[in-house]
Amino acid sequence: MILQEDIDLLRNIPLFRNIDSPKLKLLAFTSERLTFHTGETLFKQGDQGDAAYIIVQGDADVIINTPGGPLTVAKIKKNDFVGEIAILCDVPRTATVKATSELVTLRIAKDVFFQLVQQFPQMSVELMRELAGRLERTNQKLQQAVGEIKKLTVNVNPT
């Protein structure tokens, strides 16, 4: 029963939408279902990336370390995909992900993920779209932050 739920979940994620049913079944079968309690960490910024996660149920914060302390930069929820940057680029994790409620995930190992990307070019396109969308949202937030800093600077140092 859980295997079918995982297949249905994967089918609803744009990244896996165009993968045929037998491959989705294999992906679901080779993935690991993990549960995290509120406040538990999926992974920490700087950790080596060995898997990506799909959120099955619950919510989590994406947090980056800054000189001013931890900063929540995104919230993730059901059907979101997280952790793929570290496995795609073979770099340390770029953020910490911490459960804000009971969180159920589907953990996809790095080697399985790469096999899928190689076999399904459409998956690569969807992945690029997702990452480009995240970059656009990050750029918008950065522009807003710079605008706020400029306002504060003008108010502190009026000309």
> Is the Cβ–Cβ distance between 61 and 82 less than 8 Å?
no
Residue 134 has pLDDT above 80, yes or no: no
**Has this prediction a pTM greater than 0.85?**
no
For the chain, domains (ranges, CATH) are 2-156 (2.60.120.10)
Strands (E), 67-135: 69-76, 81-82, 96-99, 103-109
| Residue 69 burial by Cβ neighbours in a 10 Å radius (0-12, 13-18, 19+) | exposed
CA 2 and chain centroid, separation: 22
Q: Which of 31, 91, 81, 87 is nearest to 60 (CA)?
A: 81
CA dihedral of residues 24, 30, 35, 39 (deg, nearest 10): -90
Per residue in 82-125, pLDDT (tens digit) is 988 877 788 889 899 999 999 999 999 988 888 877 887 777 77
Measured distance CA(89)–CA(52) in Å, rounded: 12
